[in-house]
Amino acid sequence: MRAKDIRDKADGESITMLTAYDAPTAKVVDEAGIDIILVGDSLGNTQLGYDSTLPVTVDEMASHTAAVARATENALVLADMPFLSYGADRGEAIENCGRMLKEANADGVKLESGPHTVELTERLVALGIPVQAHLGLTPQHENETGLFRQGTDMEGAEEILELAEAHEAAGAFSLVLEHVPTNLAAAVSKRLSIPTIGIGAGPDCDGQVLVVDEVIGRSTDTAPFSRSWGDVRGEMERAVAGYKEDVESGEFPAEEHTHHESGVEDVY
Ligand code: KIV
């Protein structure tokens, strides 16, 4: 899958996108036929034990993106650029984004977007780095905006609409809209020719994205706009408890898990 294939899907069936952060999960997601795998900076909260996305580093993103890319055959793999890896210095931003393609084998990058990413998006696209924009709730701004719904008044909604158009004009191949009102997401989706991919943005986007840990039921808390289709955490709890019980009772390892060598009979 290429960024162009996603851009061309704007009028077709809904685009599916999920996060993944490791090879085994990416393999399952890819084999299920999901269109886009995002190595989200939600890596920070979901895998690395941080309480926000802010501490995630470029090295961590590159390492996890490379693991996902190694296990993915069909889906488009996107690396989410972490806090302060772009936006401050143009050269450094290009180098950091370029690393995700050159070193980690991503097919493109996602940038939490704003007025500061319009020109950068244009430059990255000109250099051959496909960019997915991201507007609405952008968790890297949590110290400024909190983790709340965005675009809830006319001023906020108009700003999102204008920035969406500016990023389309700059060459972004798609746009994530996070936690914005359904009617705003519908208006943006109607206005743009690139696909919109919603998370907590209602059904009128061209696609949907969720965090995989919530979808499979592994996380302890789930966003109000998300849903679980599985109980992986429950399954893990049962497996770990079963292992503990069988080791403590002596039931594991059993005869079939061990081997005996007559040649080392006299070892002491
Ligand atoms: O980091 C992430 O997982 C994201 C998605 C929620 C869009 O940015």
Q: What is the pLDDT of residue 188?
A: 98
Q: What is the pLDDT of residue 15?
A: 97
Query: Considering the chain, what is the average pLDDT of its residues?
Result: 95
Q: What is the pLDDT of residue 241?
A: 98
Q: How far does residue 210's CA lie from ligand 1's centre (Å)?
A: 7
Helix H or strand E encompassing 175? strand 174-178
Residues 246 and 117 in one domain: no
For the stretch 169-201, pLDDT in tens is 999 999 999 999 999 999 999 999 999 999 999
Q: What is the mean pLDDT of residues 25-30?
A: 98
Residues 68 and 103 in one domain: yes
What would the two tokens of residue 127 be?
A: 């250099």
Is residue 77 within 8 A of residue 37, CB to CB? The reply is yes
Residues 60 and 172 in one domain: yes
Residues 176 and 80 in one domain: yes
Give catalytic status of residue 112 as yes or no.
Answer: no
Residues 104 and 123 in one domain: yes
Gap between the Cα atoms of 37 and 28, Å rounded: 11
Top-ranked range on mean pLDDT: pick from 9-18, 94-103, 215-224 = 94-103
Q: What is the pLDDT of residue 148?
A: 76
b/e per residue 237-247 (b: at least 16 CB within 10 A): eeeeeeeeeee
Domain that holds residue 80: 3-231
Mutate to test the pocket of ligand 1, among 16, 176, 197 (most ligand atoms within 8 A of CB): 176
Mutate to test the pocket of ligand 1, among 46, 178, 197 (most ligand atoms within 8 A of CB): 178
What would the two tokens of residue 264 be?
A: 């080392």
The label of the residue with tokens 């990023």 reads 167
Closest residue by Cα to atom 1, ligand 1, is: 40
Is residue 96 within 8 A of residue 86, CB to CB? The reply is yes
pLDDT band at residue 222 using 50, 70 and 90 as cut-offs: confident
The CATH code of the domain that includes 209 is: 3.20.20.60
Residues 153 and 39 in one domain: yes
Gap between the Cα atoms of 64 and 43, Å rounded: 9
Residues 6+ apart with CB under 8 A from 88: none
Which residue ranges have their beta carbon within 6 Å of ligand 1? Answer: 19, 38, 40-42, 80, 176, 178, 199, 209, 211
Number of domains in the chain: 2
pLDDT band at residue 266 using 50, 70 and 90 as cut-offs: confident
Catalytic residue among 60, 112, 178, 214: 178
Residues 130 and 146 in one domain: yes
Q: How far does residue 142's CA lie from ligand 1's centre (Å)?
A: 13
Residues 188 and 106 in one domain: yes
pLDDT band at residue 6 using 50, 70 and 90 as cut-offs: very high
Q: What is the pLDDT of residue 145?
A: 84
Q: How far does residue 137's CA lie from ligand 1's centre (Å)?
A: 10
For the stretch 126-174, pLDDT in tens is 999 999 999 999 888 988 887 778 888 899 999 999 999 999 999 999 9
Residues 120 and 14 in one domain: yes
Closest residue by Cα to atom 3, ligand 1, is: 40
Q: How far does residue 108's CA lie from ligand 1's centre (Å)?
A: 15
Residues 244 and 215 in one domain: no
Q: What is the pLDDT of residue 4?
A: 92
Ligand 1 atom at minimal distance to the Cα of residue 178: 7
Residues 224 and 249 in one domain: no
Instruction: Please say if the pLDDT value at position 263 is more than 90.
Output: no
Instruction: Please say if the pLDDT value at position 70 is more than 80.
Output: yes
Residues 80 and 103 in one domain: yes
For the stretch 36-57, pLDDT in tens is 999 999 999 999 999 999 999 9
Given phi > 0 = left and psi -120 to 50 = alpha, else beta, which region is 250? left
What would the two tokens of residue 83 be?
A: 């806090």
